[in-house]
Amino acid sequence: MALPSGRVHVSPSLLGSFTCSDELYRAASELARKFDRQWTFHISPTEGDGAFFRQRTGHDPLVHLDKIGVLDRRCVVGHGIHLSKEEVATANRSGATVAFSPTSALRLVSGVTAVGRHPELTHVALGTDALNGSNHVNLLQAAGLACNIYAEARKDRSAVTAEHALEWLILGGAKSLGWSDRIGSLEAGKRADIAVFDVGAPVFNVANALVHGSPRAVHVFIDGEQLLRDGQVNGERGILEEVVEAGRRVARRAGLPLSTGWAFLD
């Protein structure tokens, strides 16, 4: 099935972990195959999933999901922090992508620096998780954290280089969406999705400047249409004002304070 031209697409998304039955995993997988879409679920952000699956099935989570026939190139496995060596081999063989969110892994005290195996995976995409899990959606910041996490964990700065992190971010991201034929590189036949960053000067290594510097998105083009100009989106100020006021209304209804720590909301 050809991808529609719109920017919003629908795919099966399960919470995963120990909340789903084998029947639900199979149904989501079959739906994704029927419509040629990606699908996603969370596995092993903590060690609890592994213990649950081994007790229920006798196998590690991804090994079990592979045995019931749902792990394939359409799968996007969220987190994948507490994976065994067998699970890494299974994921690599299946073509599934593991979506790694470095900030939430650290903020939620997942143990990633002790047990993470993302550099051993063939297909990795970088994400940020939801705002309540990471407090930001800055993908380049996530790329820098991925480098630093594995440099510290393995006492080796080359464990995940800036170039490697950008490949996870760009190429891995395109694969995780099932859009490798549409985005991820600038070449004839692909959508003109371009982001222009100001990384300051001087720049001797572009990858390091993007991943470990303080880059600022200046212009963004999506499918050839400019949506960000000089760091601003049309109507951005009004949108932010509405968001702040909505937050105040929610806080008042919930009986929560309008100020915490050093931040003050009138």
Q: State how far the Cα of 183 lies from the Cα of 173, in Å rounded to an integer.
A: 9
User: Of 231, 230, 197, whose CA–CA distance to 215 is shortest?
Assistant: 197
**Mean pLDDT per segment of 10 residues, for the chain of length 266 residues?**
64 92 97 95 95 96 98 97 98 98 95 97 96 90 97 97 97 94 89 92 91 94 92 91 93 87 60
pLDDT at 182: 87
What local confidence, expressed as pLDDT, does residue 264 receive? 52
Instruction: Return the pLDDT at 257.
Output: 85
Q: What pLDDT score was predicted for residue 202?
A: 81
What does the alpha-carbon distance between residue 24 and residue 156 come to, in Å, rounded to a whole number? 41
Tokens of 232: 């601003």
Give the number of other CB atoms < 10 A from CB of residue 95.
Answer: 14
Q: What is the spatial distance between Cα 7 and Cα 177, in angstroms, rounded to a whole number?
A: 12
Would you state the pLDDT for residue 111?
96
pTM: 0.88
pLDDT attached to residue 5: 59
What is the structure's pLDDT at 212?
A: 95
Domain extents for the chain?
Answer: 13-186
- Specify the pLDDT at position 213: 93
- For domain 13-186, the CATH class is alpha beta
What's the confidence (pLDDT) of residue 131?
85
* Res 163: pLDDT: 97
